[in-house]
Amino acid sequence: MAEPSVEHLTAVEGGPLPLTTAGAPAAERDGRAVLERRIEGLFAAGREEQFEEGMESEFSRGLVAIVEQHGDEAVAGIADLILNEKVAAHVASEALVWLATMDHPPSHDARLRLLQQALFSRTLRTRDSATVGLSAMDDPRAISDLKKASSGEHYAYLRRDMEKVLGQLESTLPCRDS
pLDDT tens digits, 14-50: 444 444 445 556 656 667 889 999 999 999 999 999 9
Structural domains of the chain, with CATH: 6-177 (1.25.10)
pTM over 0.85: no
Q: Is the pLDDT of residue 105 over 70?
A: yes
The share of the chain scoring above pLDDT 70, in percent, equals: 81
Res 66 pLDDT > 80: yes
User: What pLDDT sits at residue 65?
Assistant: 97
DSSP state, residue 122: S
DSSP string covering 19-53: ---TT--HHHHHHHHHHHHHHHHHHHHHTT----T
